[in-house]
Chains A and B, each alone.
Chain A
Amino acid sequence: MSAAKSTGVYLCSGCGIGEAVTMGELEKVVTKEFKKPVKSHACLCGDEGLAVIKADIEAGTVNQVVVGACSPRTMTDRFRFPATQVLRSNLREQVAWSHPAGDEDTRMMAEDNLRMSLTEAAKSTLPEPKIDGEYSSVVMVVGGGTAGLTAAHEAAQAGHEVLLVERAAKLGGNAANWSKRMPHRPPYRAIQGNDIDTLIATVTADSRVKVKTGCTVAKTSGMPGKFAVEFSDGSGATVGAIVVATGWRPYDPTKLGHLGYGVSPDVVTNVQMEGMLSGGKVARKSDGKAPGVVAFVQCAGSRDPDHLPYCSSVCCGVSIKQALQLREADPKVMTYIIYEELRTPGVAEEFYRAAQEAGVIFMKGKVKSVDKALTVVVDDALLQQEVPLAGVDLVVLATGMVPNSTNIDAPTPELDEEKLRVLHNDVNPLSPIKVAGYAGEAPAPLPAPPDTLPEGAPILNLQYRQGPHLPMLADGFADSHYICFPYETRRTGIYTCGPVRRPMDMGETAEDATGAVMKAIQAIRNAGQGVALHPRAGDLSYPMINLNQCTKCRRCTVECPFGAIDENEASYPQVNETRCRRCGTCMGACPVRTISFANYSVDMLGSMIKAVNIPDEFDEKPRILILACENDAYPALDMAGISRQQYSAFVRIIPVRCLGSVSLLLISDALSVGFDGVMLMGCKPGDDYQCHFVKGSGISRERLSKVGETLKSMQLESARVTQVEASIADSARLPKLIDAFVAELDGFGPNPFKGF
């Protein structure tokens, strides 16, 4: 913004604001204290009201607008003006609708909100995007199986150049070994042809796709739009975004001795069976004869805490398919599927029925043993007796999927603990659910999954400060922890898809790969414009570090949830802007306030805090600072207002991008200017964390745990500062929490620093 900042303030008296407070008094704050022009209107969001603002902008008298009206979460499209920074002061939901009209405290709250917004306006500017040199629009796809080939094809179809990298000499991945595939389109009862060869042919014929086989990624550095990749063959490339589609491998059957593997050559895995089917000849290894009776053992390794704790999803369908194929080839072949829970979810139920109709026999029970004579002893759950299934010619173990989140063919590199941190379980999927209690005895909690680090080399070998690996969840899948945003992982511009993300079949894998390409293309297009991705999509601000003041403490590089900040040779932090998601955790981490955004900084927040008028200790008007996560706690407080719930008018609420962006310095600022208490409201941390920036609220909690000592040294009660878990559904709970905190602080008496 070249022109000098000239701020216009516009107040709305509609929706009960005018009844709650006297507009004249609010205007006085603007004109007297801040010397800014102010205009009030009875309905600012209406066409007439907007015309007032537009006229000033067009006349050139105003290029920064402060709107004192409803919550920033509403009327966003109306209060949007070209090339103009708009700041919103929440006078409706969080003042007029949640506090008594005409009350002195309500007035003071409105005035302080306005003071904070005007201070925010003074301390921030309209961000301009950082666009720096050339950006690549190439999509790199790692893995040339179903997922990777689909990703390459779909990215090319969207007009992007693609670089497809496959470790093996040939494309096709596991699917190249498949005879046929499970149905993924109607008719859902019919086995469908394996079309992987067609896909390979399409991709290799596409001039926009460059294929590298027999090749792995040696090194990846850079950021979205500018990833610099080196390959095992010594070549290099610059790519815009990366899709990781490295797939899966079957669980090691040698660990399944209890199910007969190794006891007899005629105990095989489903993968080996698939090989026989695609080879056109199903025969016993022992005598080369075609089997007349085949037993499929489900959950061979899966759903077993000693092996794979998860369900591999596809095995029920695969066994059904193989049994159907056997019976189609020879209707005299008897096929048994021994299952514990038959999992053919969704329309696949029809596939199950097709198998029943075709005479496949389903037995529910656990396999107790398989001996050399291939007698399969089943604890038959429905017959309620142990059944020795004799006369079996071939046993097929439905082994599960292990994600290729590392390259197990390459050696595991030596890495320091800090670089391995992303591989440690940060969530425990087995953490107990919250219960009110047990009528009898509580069960022992399930043991947490072992925190074992996967063997093998990192797939991309990221040259990131936070290590070369993609972060993984407890069971080794490089997946997102979010339900609504399954592609949002902690490495911006890098998207996993297919079974490396979650066990899934070929149909779903193809869809997943298409989705991942969508995200990759989005990352590329936004990187080139300096625009942030999810969840602060469209944000143009980015962290700027004043290296002159930096102490090289490395907190920002360690705490960034997205690994966006590296350290340069001189150990100074170096921001990779297009990796950054703009949460501000770095800003909260920095002990010397040297990281800031154009429209968001410690200075800005600190100044807003200081802009609040603190009545003296004899007024019995305590002040409590609430720093609320803008995505959950702040909307919940809005919704408390929408449902007209009332809470103490002694609080002053500032929305923050994430609790991770809250510097401890802000808390001491608040206490030193006389706030009686500080309440941080953020998302659930820990297992099942709900923070959109992964770790922000957890980091904040950890930082806060160290604040008690500081408070003690200031002779202040540590309970004056608290962090509460607030979800977006807490609109009824938060007012009660606030009032309880105000009452608790009342017990401590006023902050002795008031008036200093």
Chain B
Amino acid sequence: MTSVSPTPTRKYDLSFARWVYENIDGGDRMAMCMQCGTCSGSCALNTQMDYGPRKLFMMIRAGMKDEVLTSNTIWNCVSCYNCVVRCPRKVPVAYILHDLATVAVREGYAQARTEETTKFAKAFIWSARTFGRTDERLVSVLFYFSEGISAGFKKLMAFKGIAFNFVKVGRLHIGLPHMIKKRGELKSIMAKAAEIEARHGGASGEK
């Protein structure tokens, strides 16, 4: 097994679909999809999505790997889990979208790299790795500046009112980041986990 998903040579070549079934958390249940549309119809941000989960699943079956991994559908999941609880075939739709996003990042799809969610996640996981905690302040700033200094300042300014208010009422603290005591322990565990995942074929995210 390779860590990279196979690229189908023709329509309904199942190589990609099978890879998804086997390598994506809950992917095996995707085979049960009967294309009823409940997930897409239930989706909070369906209007922002190019395909919606239902059609995306059909495209996976059809082997449309590039279209799937460059789709904005996988980035617009707000994790409301309506799709998961309503799916008549118990397909864990949201989980699958999350994992597909991971795959898109891992396989270097350009769309994935420019997604705001990716950048936010990058900042987020940096904070978790470094401090063991999410420092909302640092995560936000990192995220704002992920597109460069000037864009960052612009964004920062847009949120400055909110940030100022937060600070004023004590919902954004000033000072050193919160952090856990045993940061070494956490780092070792996460490093080991990444190693195990790589061993199984999935890489452990962008370095």
Chain A residues packing against B (C-beta within 8 Å): 334, 336, 342, 352-353, 356-357, 359, 361-364, 380, 382-383, 387-391
Check if B31 sits within 8 Å of A387, measured CB to CB.
no
**Known A-B contacts A356-B32, A357-B32; A391 and B58 likewise in contact (beta carbons under 8 Å):** no
- The reply to whether the CB of B137 lies closer than 8 angstroms to some CB of chain A is no
B35 / chain A contacts, CB cutoff of 8 Å: 364, 382
Check if A387 sits within 8 Å of B32, measured CB to CB.
no
Check if A383 sits within 8 Å of B32, measured CB to CB.
no
**Known A-B contacts A382-B58, A383-B59, A383-B62; A361 and B14 likewise in contact (beta carbons under 8 Å):** yes
Contact of A387 among B12, B14, B21 (CB under 8 A): B12
Check if A383 sits within 8 Å of B31, measured CB to CB.
no
Check if A353 sits within 8 Å of B62, measured CB to CB.
no
B10 / chain A contacts, CB cutoff of 8 Å: 388, 390-391
Contact of B14 among A334, A364, A388 (CB under 8 A): A334
Tell me the chain B residues, 23-41 only, with Cβ under 8 Å from chain A: 31-35
B55 / chain A contacts, CB cutoff of 8 Å: 382-383
Check if B32 sits within 8 Å of A353, measured CB to CB.
yes
Cα A382 to Cα B11 in complex, Å, equals 14
Expressed in whole angstroms, the minimum distance between the Cβ of B12 and any Cβ of chain A is: 6
A363 / chain B contacts, CB cutoff of 8 Å: 12, 61
Tell me the chain B residues, 4-28 only, with Cβ under 8 Å from chain A: 10-14, 17-18, 21
B11 / chain A contacts, CB cutoff of 8 Å: 387-390
**Known A-B contacts A356-B32, A357-B31, A364-B35; A383 and B58 likewise in contact (beta carbons under 8 Å):** yes
Tell me the chain B residues, 149-190 only, with Cβ under 8 Å from chain A: none
Expressed in whole angstroms, the minimum distance between the Cβ of B125 and any Cβ of chain A is: 34
Expressed in whole angstroms, the minimum distance between the Cβ of A394 and any Cβ of chain B is: 15
Expressed in whole angstroms, the minimum distance between the Cβ of A382 and any Cβ of chain B is: 5
B21 / chain A contacts, CB cutoff of 8 Å: 359
Can you report 12 A-B residue pairs in the complex whose CB atoms are below 8 A from each other? A334-B14, A353-B89, A356-B31, A356-B32, A357-B31, A359-B14, A361-B61, A382-B55, A387-B12, A387-B62, A390-B10, A391-B10
A336 / chain B contacts, CB cutoff of 8 Å: 12
Expressed in whole angstroms, the minimum distance between the Cβ of B166 and any Cβ of chain A is: 46
- Interface footprint category on B: 20 to 34
Across the interface, name the chain A residue whose C-beta is closest to B62: A383
Across the interface, name the chain A residue whose C-beta is closest to B29: A357
A387 / chain B contacts, CB cutoff of 8 Å: 11-12, 62
- Please name 14 further chain A to chain B contacts, defined as beta carbons within 8 Å, in addition to the given A334-B14, A359-B31, A361-B14, sorted by A numbering: A336-B12, A342-B34, A353-B32, A356-B31, A356-B32, A361-B12, A361-B17, A382-B55, A383-B55, A387-B12, A388-B11, A389-B11, A389-B12, A391-B13
Cα A359 to Cα B89 in complex, Å, equals 15
Cα A353 to Cα B90 in complex, Å, equals 12
B89 / chain A contacts, CB cutoff of 8 Å: 353
Expressed in whole angstroms, the minimum distance between the Cβ of B40 and any Cβ of chain A is: 12
Cα A391 to Cα B58 in complex, Å, equals 19
Across the interface, name the chain A residue whose C-beta is closest to B64: A383
Tell me the chain B residues, 88-128 only, with Cβ under 8 Å from chain A: 89
Check if B62 sits within 8 Å of A380, measured CB to CB.
yes
Across the interface, name the chain B residue whose C-beta is closest to A360: B31
Cα A380 to Cα B62 in complex, Å, equals 10
Cα A389 to Cα B61 in complex, Å, equals 12
A380 / chain B contacts, CB cutoff of 8 Å: 62
A353 / chain B contacts, CB cutoff of 8 Å: 32, 89
Cα A364 to Cα B57 in complex, Å, equals 13
Cα A387 to Cα B35 in complex, Å, equals 17
A361 / chain B contacts, CB cutoff of 8 Å: 12, 14, 17, 61
Expressed in whole angstroms, the minimum distance between the Cβ of A359 and any Cβ of chain B is: 6
Expressed in whole angstroms, the minimum distance between the Cβ of B55 and any Cβ of chain A is: 7
Expressed in whole angstroms, the minimum distance between the Cβ of A266 and any Cβ of chain B is: 18
Cα A382 to Cα B56 in complex, Å, equals 10
B34 / chain A contacts, CB cutoff of 8 Å: 342, 352, 356, 362
Expressed in whole angstroms, the minimum distance between the Cβ of A373 and any Cβ of chain B is: 12
Expressed in whole angstroms, the minimum distance between the Cβ of B66 and any Cβ of chain A is: 14
Cα A743 to Cα B61 in complex, Å, equals 70
A334 / chain B contacts, CB cutoff of 8 Å: 14
Across the interface, name the chain A residue whose C-beta is closest to B54: A382
Cα A380 to Cα B12 in complex, Å, equals 11
Across the interface, name the chain A residue whose C-beta is closest to B31: A356
Which 9 pairs of residues, A with B, have the shortest CB-CB distance? A382-B58, A387-B11, A390-B10, A356-B32, A356-B31, A382-B35, A389-B12, A334-B14, A383-B62
A362 / chain B contacts, CB cutoff of 8 Å: 34
Cα A334 to Cα B59 in complex, Å, equals 17
B12 / chain A contacts, CB cutoff of 8 Å: 336, 361, 363, 387, 389
